Structure 1
Amino acid sequence: MTAMAILDPPSRVSVLISGSGVIVEGDSVTLNCISDSNPPAEISWFKGKIKILQSGETYSITNIKSDASGDYRCSARNKHGSQTSAAVNVNIMYPPRNVSVSISPSGVIVEGDSVTLNCISDSNPPAEISWIKGGTIVGSGRIFSISKISSDDSGEYKCKSINEHGERYSDTVTLNVMSVRCFSPVSVGVAVGVALAVGVLLGGASGAFVMYICLTKRMNRRSAMKEISDPNEDTYTALELKSTTSDLYDTLTTVDRRPPEDS
């Protein structure tokens, strides 16, 4: 008596990853599609929702790259039906790369400002970050903040990114903290002259910026002093803007607060 073959569609379809443990960039990986069917099923492979051109029960990747990470599935089909496996995640580990430092805010940094350095790093698993000024470790964590920065904080900084697969340093960035040491001359006219000299010595926009801060501070102090001055005082000295857009003050004006007397 001849046994009758039982024909059925694919069932119990699953994916197995060859080997075990951590998959590191550069390894070779093999995926096997397991299927129970009669007749044997045709196998197709998918990464996410994208169908992979390769077919067959085995899907191999040699010298695997980090962009091969993702969810993989196989689909088994015969003339009696089809079934798709559950997704299996392939997670590729790799050492830090593309390490760099950004500074916020950008531009001129003046004593008293708050400055944040951000270490940008691509790695799997996420890297541990340390901060180095010169040859000394000064902090850890992806973000390094300095509040009320001083000229002592000037120098070269870089971050080190490390995980169990390797380490990498960023390029060096330079923090140049400008010291704003305002002056206390006998008169505002002398203050303006000294500020101009400071601007010339420091050069360009940076010098002008320091000069502006000094003049602004001095103007604010004079305004505060005027508010508590003798109410019977007849005149006071004010700084007058050179133009509506200028940061410089170039004239002294004497203002009489008394209304004109009737003639």
Structure 2
Amino acid sequence: MFCLFSLFSLFVSQGFCNLELGVIYTNTVICAIKGSTVHLSGTYKNLRNYKTVIFWTVNPVNITDDIKLLGNPDYKGRIQDLLNGKTHTLTLSDVKHEDEGKYCLRVMTHVEILDLQPCAGIELRVTDLRVETPEEVVEGESPVLTCKSSCNLSSTNFSWYRNGESFPESERQNQLILKSVNRGDAGSYSCAVRDPKHLPSPALTLNIRYPPKSVSVSVSGSAVIVSGDSVTLSCSSDSNPPAVDFSWFKENQSSVVGSGQSFSISSFNSSHSGRYYCEAENKYGSQRSESVSVTVEESSSSWVLITAGITASVFVMFVILMVFMLIRRKRVTPSEEQNHRGSCKTVESPEDPYMTLDPKSRCSEYDTLDIMKRSSENTESPEGQDPIYHNISK
């Protein structure tokens, strides 16, 4: 009875009966990544060389209810039982979450009482890899990315990927430290355990938060605006999260002239001309744009009026100048007129020097005499004429 009691009281913690028959398992718990291949090994001892039947089963209940895995349709094409001496190795590929459970190497003999029950077995746990990051990563920080699983993996060799491209081979830990990140470090990150199938985790997007950058202003249409037009200025920026506060300024003015991503001016005129810029802001900071010059240009009809006004002014000035010259010409004295005629010319005539004088060539003295002569001719008394000409003949 003592021996029978001993056979029933198996040393479960080590998976075998210390007397004659038992099984030793290499591991009692194995953590496998979904989609990977696992190897479960158990070695049995049979001191009396009983005739045995050995097979693998999962979640054993009792001898009669145990199902051989090699005949289970759920494992078809995914399972192999390899024998090396007294060591049985169960190879299970394309592991699924449904494969989780206790795997037992069952040893049955022709002596029913020696059948191993209960079975210690190997507990198989199936996990997914996942990347964990801080909830919020701001530009300039050094976040730590961790490759995690729901159970402890036996492998300690990890690989890291960003947007499908691997990091240097030196990064083999389950943690990846990104130093002083910027927006260029944003992307999809995944990790993998070095396995023949090299199964990566689902990619996780790393979102880098940063204040507005590359802030710029655009003007609807041309920057040269015709008076009376409506003008709209738009402010754009690169930021994460997107900027929500926009302020508009005009150079040489201290106060804000507008708000919102778009700033409109209706009936634009010369008083609105100037240089404008915007400032974009989110919770991480702000940045202002370069100034944009917006000027007003007179319409073509205005230029026509201006040209007509200038032409009319020139014409009026010309008329005034002509009138002035005519008035001045009428006010010229005989002496001034004589100065314009030129110098005096002497005409010689042997017969009658007084009768041969050319009025256009005589000097001022002759003009005076001619005037006196005409005056005497108009008088009634002819006697007054002789003394004058007598004096001249001398």
Smaller-chain TM-score bracket = 0.5 to 0.7
Select the structure with the greater relative contact order (CA < 8 A; seq sep ≥ 6).
Answer: 1
Match of 1:44 in 2: 159
Match of 1:175 in 2: 294
| 1:110 partner amino acid | V
Comparing 110-119 with 159-168, greater Cα deviation is found at: 110-119
- Give the whole-Å Cα distance in 2 for the aligned partners of 1:37 and 1:163: 42
Pairwise CA distance, 1:192: 8.4
- Give the whole-Å Cα distance in 2 for the aligned partners of 1:124 and 1:71: 16
CA contact (8 A) 1:69 1:90 kept: yes
Q: Secondary structure at the match of 1:136?
A: coil
Identity %: 35
Match of 1:145 in 2: 264
Q: Given the superposition, is the C-alpha separation of residues 4 and 145 from structure 1 closer, same or farther in structure 2, using an over 3 Å criterion? A: same
TM-score after normalising by structure 2: 0.43
| 2:228 partner amino acid | G
Deviation readout 1:167-205 (Å, 9 max, x if unpaired): 1212222222134473897xxx946837xxxxxxxxxxx
Comparing 152-161 with 23-32, greater Cα deviation is found at: 152-161
Match of 2:204 in 1: 88
Q: Given the superposition, is the C-alpha separation of residues 38 and 105 from structure 1 closer, same or farther in structure 2, using an over 3 Å criterion? A: closer
Pairwise CA distance, 1:82: 4.3
Unaligned ranges ≥5, structure 1: 195-263
TM-score after normalising by structure 1: 0.62
- Give the whole-Å Cα distance in 2 for the aligned partners of 1:62 and 1:69: 13
Give the one of 78, 98, 106 matched to 2:195.
78
Q: Which has the higher helix share?
A: 2
Match of 2:311 in 1: 193
- Give the whole-Å Cα distance in 1 for the aligned partners of 2:173 and 2:262: 48
CA contact (8 A) 1:149 1:177 kept: yes
Match of 2:228 in 1: 112
- Give the whole-Å Cα distance in 2 for the aligned partners of 1:75 and 1:59: 12
Pairwise CA distance, 1:115: 2.2
Q: Which has the higher strand share?
A: 1
Q: Given the superposition, is the C-alpha separation of residues 159 and 39 from structure 1 closer, same or farther in structure 2, using an over 3 Å criterion? A: same
Deviation readout 1:22-73 (Å, 9 max, x if unpaired): 2111101111112447641532111122222233211110111111112211
CA contact (8 A) 2:223 2:293 kept: no
- 2:143 maps to 1:29: yes
| 1:64 partner amino acid | V
- Give the whole-Å Cα distance in 1 for the aligned partners of 2:153 and 2:136: 35
- Give the whole-Å Cα distance in 1 for the aligned partners of 2:298 and 2:182: 49
Larger radius of gyration: 2
Q: Secondary structure at the match of 1:152?
A: helix
Unaligned ranges ≥5, structure 2: 1-15, 17-23, 34-126, 313-394
- 2:259 maps to 1:132: no
CA contact (8 A) 1:96 1:168 kept: yes
